[in-house]
Structure 1
Amino acid sequence: ILKVLLQDGPGFSARKALDEMNLKVTNELVRQVMFKFVVSVDSVNRERYPRLAYKFFVWAGQQDGYRHNTSMYNLVMKVFAECGEVKAMWRLLEEMTEIGLPVSARTFHILICTCGQAGLRRRLVERFIKSSSFNYRPFRSSFNAILHTLLTIKQYSLIEWVHQKMVTEGHTPDVLTYNVVMRAKYLLGKLDQFHRLLDEMGKNGLTPDLHTYNLLLHVLGKGDKPLAALNLLNYMSDVGCVPSVLHFTNLIDGLSRAGNLEACRYFFDEMVKKGCEPDAVCYTVMITGYVAAAEFEEAQKLFDDMLVRGKLPNVYTYNSMIRGLCIVVCRLRNAG
């Protein structure tokens, strides 16, 4: 199909050629064609591809027994995004609204990633908040769907603005809301506001979930507060929220960044004692910490233990080990 579309031009009608192929148009067929456009966009074809993709999209939508849904619109919108066709993306959004198709969190994600200016992003957020056709499931509200998307693309300041707008308009935050906003505050370095939100969450009768504890453990670790972290781990167990390897890993990562390798080792061993098997990511965090502290022998021991336990090293593990070996070689040269 893509080969046919690429021949489109004077003397050749891609639309007529598609008709003659007698294709059975389905969502899967449209998905495959759009995916091929997305993965093959380059500097040479980025001006032509949007037109060809949309030509196929329109042709497919006119075939008997087939109608585009929101996911299909998202796909052609993704082609436009890859080619920098921002105005065309907004026209597609208008078209979806006109024909009564719901827009989704994925639609918002694709559009927000192309909005370079803060003012344009805010306009888009306001539009989606007010949209009656915004299908924000599985999230509880449109605000949560938007906040979650903004977190994935690291728009932390915009998260603050959306949260403030949410509160101003009288909407009640839930645990997910607090988790997202607290993470944004932490990443912006606003720890005082982070702790105020945590207190507010408790006052509103909301119980922290696994994601809340995960964030708290990392914050305590990076703040070099191993005793407070230990108390929190014990509290989690007492309330039936058993710490997982992810919780220990985030704590160890924070402590490693704080330079407290003794505490890292303690919690690593505690994790194993509690029957929580460290995974490749956890080993890598430990190895990276020892390499950063120029303790390559300890890093090597962990790497060997990782292999014995059948954990497959990833690219980050190897990068850390190579960095450690380079440090050792430099030391030997300097000593010689």
Structure 2
Amino acid sequence: MNRSKAILVSLRLANSFLSTRVCSTSRPLRSQVTMFSHSSLSSLSNQSYSSHLIPTHQKLYFSSMPNSVVELVLANEWSIELEKELDDSHPAWNHETVIFVLKKLDKDPEKASDFFNWVCEKDGFRHSSSLYSIMLRILADKETMKQFWVTLRKMKQEGFYLDEETYFTISGKFKKEKMASDVAALSHFYNRMIQENAMDKVVGSVVDVILGSVWNDNVEKQLGELNVVFSDNVVIRVLKELRSYPSKAASFFRCVGKYPGYEHNTVTYNAIARVLCQHDSIEEFWSVIEEMKGADHDMDIDTYIKISRQFQKNKMMEDAVKLYELMMDGPFKPSVQDCSMLLRSISANDNPNLDLVFRVAKKYESTGHTLSKAIYDGIHRSLTSAGRFNEAEKIVNVMQNAGYEPDNITYSQVVFGLCKARRLEPKTKGPTSPHLPHYLLSKSDT
């Protein structure tokens, strides 16, 4: 590894020299941003990896409705006029849209709070504990503590609860910011809420019955004898208690969906999806997702982020890519950062699945986006890690045509790939190794 570090230093020195030259001779960016064509991505993703990447004409990108709402809120001070414009642009608000907008506004707590308070007053809009949890995480900041406590009390008054995960996340943030009085106040509020919340007993009795034996008709009979009036709040809390028992969670979800007067909705579908995204229940997960789509419900962006990270952590990359494609086909599209993180996770495998890499890139491009430097880096990282240096060079050529020059990230990925492939000569001292890709050799000889 010492040799690889030395080579990386040499490459960076070469890059530093080149940067000086580029500054004096750089050409303007092309007026039309170069993109991959679907055919060229497909040809690179097949077994031969032999085709060249072909630049294509520019695509136009049209903002989806949720993004246009975010842009509208960020561009204007909150006012009656803004509220009217929001009403005109989107007369009906659902759970998924509000979650998406709040996640996009998380760096602007004041505007997030204004939007949240306004939309919660809309006729027909159904609140949920998950919405309040997101809003509280956004407001957990020294500058917005007044809004935080007002929102927390409002949450309690409306019969929702502060879940354990949100409590510990916010408490940890307060401790990090040395907000000792707020840590103590939040702890007092949370413990008192648990003591006063009669729903805890209801949820506890339901969970005890479910965990008491293997799921069967007798379990369903015992649940019926409890005479519980199931609400979204109760169902969500039971599912959270069953997160270590995904099979039983799925059985409960199916059972309660048959109760007279109760019907699953977006909130409960998202809740069960978070429980089922595990190796042992992945078939049930996709079954629920299909059922969810058939019922005209969407996965919200917060649920997507959590499930995608869980898939990536558990090395379930095929499922992570399939879910990414599903979300990109819907109204609540993941961000470029989510795409870049997914590509990085794929490349971290010992033998990166290049088909998955190009599926992600193609899906990102198909929605009208141009590939950013971060996306090119993600593709290049997997190719070099897989020892596909010729294909990596083609990616760099296309990247350059799009106006992005190779940099230290590009070079370090090549060095890592060469080290991994054991293709460094023992006497290699710098960037003139015959094993380096052509674009690095030509640069170092300049």
Q: Same fold (TM over 0.5)?
A: no
TM-score, with length taken from structure 1: 0.45
Structure with more contact order per residue of length (Cα contacts < 8 Å, sep ≥ 6): 2
